[in-house]
Chains A and B, each alone.
Chain A
Amino acid sequence: KAGVTQTPRYLIKTRGQQVTLSCSPISGHRSVSWYQQTPGQGLQFLFEYFSETQRNKGNFPGRFSGRQFSNSRSEMNVSTLELGDSALYLCASSSAGGALFGYTFGSGTRLTVV
């Protein structure tokens, strides 16, 4: 079966711009989580959506937002980009939410802010 698909794979943006990343979960999965991975801070939880509702949120500024559609696809938006937002953004999906059910991660979107 198809895995978690993230688009685009690579992105270069200019400071001050905004960006939207997309994640298509495994078919039937209703929970989608987003993580930021950087060399300095490691993997950090951004937020989780379940059935179109944000169920959990990490400690990121309001410039980071997300949403989930009725087909469980999710988008993440970052406004007013800063150089420090350069990172690998990973999306993970799960059938029922909760790490116990097993998260499947996508390959990520590598965002570079110049």
Chain B
Amino acid sequence: GNSVTQMEGPVTLSEEAFLTINCTYTATGYPSLFWYVQYPGEGLQLLLKATKADDKGSNKGFEATYRKETTSFHLEKGSVQVSDSAVYFCALSGKGGTASKLTFGTGTRLQVTL
């Protein structure tokens, strides 16, 4: 079945540092890939997505590229802010009948300090 593996947290960075959160996946066919973010006490918000190989999703300074050859979708940001502190989830969805089901990784907590 489908699965997502992402790096363990917490990740602690100083403001303006470079961020990478690793995500790899296992899936049949060509899934769509997503990054969601969860702030304390809130639900999940879609951060970015990519639907086919070599697509780059981007939003709010965050980027991730769909790498089929390495089955990866690593999240990056050039300069993090304190307000980026949250839990980040990598997720995938299949095509066709499974398109409505999201399979999530375990989440990576990011803590950004001044």
Cβ contact within 8 Å between B104 and A107: no
The smallest beta-carbon distance between A8 and chain B, in angstroms, is: 15
Q: How far is the CA of A108 from the CA of B38 in the complex (A)?
A: 12
**When the two chains form the complex, which single residue of A43, A97, A105, A108 contacts B99, counting CB atoms closer than 8 Å?**
A97
Cβ contact within 8 Å between A99 and B93: yes
Cβ contact within 8 Å between A48 and B51: no
- Residues of A near B27 (CB, < 8 A) are none
- Residues of B near A100 (CB, < 8 A) are 32, 49, 51, 93, 99
Q: How far is the CA of A45 from the CA of B99 in the complex (A)?
A: 12
- Residues of B near A4 (CB, < 8 A) are 43
Q: How far is the CA of A31 from the CA of B101 in the complex (A)?
A: 11
Report if A62 contacts B (CB, 8 A).
Answer: no
Report if B106 contacts A (CB, 8 A).
Answer: yes
Given contacts A99-B32, A100-B32, contact A42 B93 (CB under 8 A): no
Chain B residue total in the interface (Cβ 8 A): 25
Report if A74 contacts B (CB, 8 A).
Answer: no
- Beta-carbon nearest neighbor of A59 in chain B: B1
Q: How far is the CA of A108 from the CA of B52 in the complex (A)?
A: 31
A-B contact count (CB 8 A): 67
Cβ contact within 8 Å between B32 and A56: no
Cβ contact within 8 Å between B100 and A90: no
Report if B58 contacts A (CB, 8 A).
Answer: no
- Residues of A near B97 (CB, < 8 A) are 56
The smallest beta-carbon distance between A48 and chain B, in angstroms, is: 5
Q: How far is the CA of A2 from the CA of B54 in the complex (A)?
A: 35
Which residues of chain A have a CB within 8 Å of any CB of chain B? 4, 31, 33, 35, 42-45, 48, 50, 55-56, 58, 90, 92, 94, 97-100, 102-108
Query: Please, could you name 28 A-B residue pairs with CB atoms under 8 Å apart, sorted by A?
Result: A35-B102, A42-B106, A43-B44, A43-B91, A43-B104, A43-B107, A45-B101, A45-B102, A45-B103, A48-B101, A55-B100, A56-B98, A56-B100, A92-B44, A94-B100, A98-B93, A99-B32, A99-B49, A100-B32, A100-B49, A100-B93, A103-B44, A103-B102, A105-B36, A105-B44, A106-B43, A107-B42, A108-B43
